Amino acid sequence: MTNRIFFRSLLAVSLLTGSVSVASSAYAADPAAATQSTQNDFLGNLSQKEDNLNNRVKNYQTQSAASQAERTQKIQTLKSQYTNAPANEKANIQNKINNERDKLNTARTAQTEKVQKLRNAPQEQKNRLNALGKKSRSDATNFLNGGL
């Protein structure tokens, strides 16, 4: 029993050491690694992804605000038509105004939901990464304790 635990722990340590030595020698053999900037490391990639996400959110908010302003202007135009319209066209114009208001409210709600979803994406990714790390640790612990 003791030999089996010793053998498994020795095997696990040798596998880890071998993978680290292979990775470090591959890194040392890479000529691009000598000129690698901080943008290529893990934190650099995360910060770049966050910057890209922030830019996407700003662009989406700008486009959405322009769309909402256009729709608001259309509502104002319809209201002015309504005040100057003959009695038989007022109901038709009022329906158009109501439709445009509904579309504007839907667009505002969709914008809010999409911005929240985009802003919550990094936290969801972090949660998935933490869950993967916990599973890997538990798998390694189970392997070293003899239970697969």
**Which pLDDT belongs to residue 129?**
79
Kindly report, residue by residue over 115-144, the tens digit of the pLDDT: 888 777 777 777 887 888 888 888 888 888
Q: In whole angstroms, what is the distance from residue 16 CA to residue 85 CA?
A: 81
Q: What is the DSSP secondary-structure string of 56-74?
A: HHHHHHHHHHHHHHHHHHH
For the entire predicted model, the pTM comes to 0.44
Kindly report, residue by residue over 34-89, the tens digit of the pLDDT: 445 545 677 777 778 778 888 888 888 888 888 888 988 988 888 888 888 887 88
Q: Give the residue with greater pLDDT, 28 vs 97.
A: 97
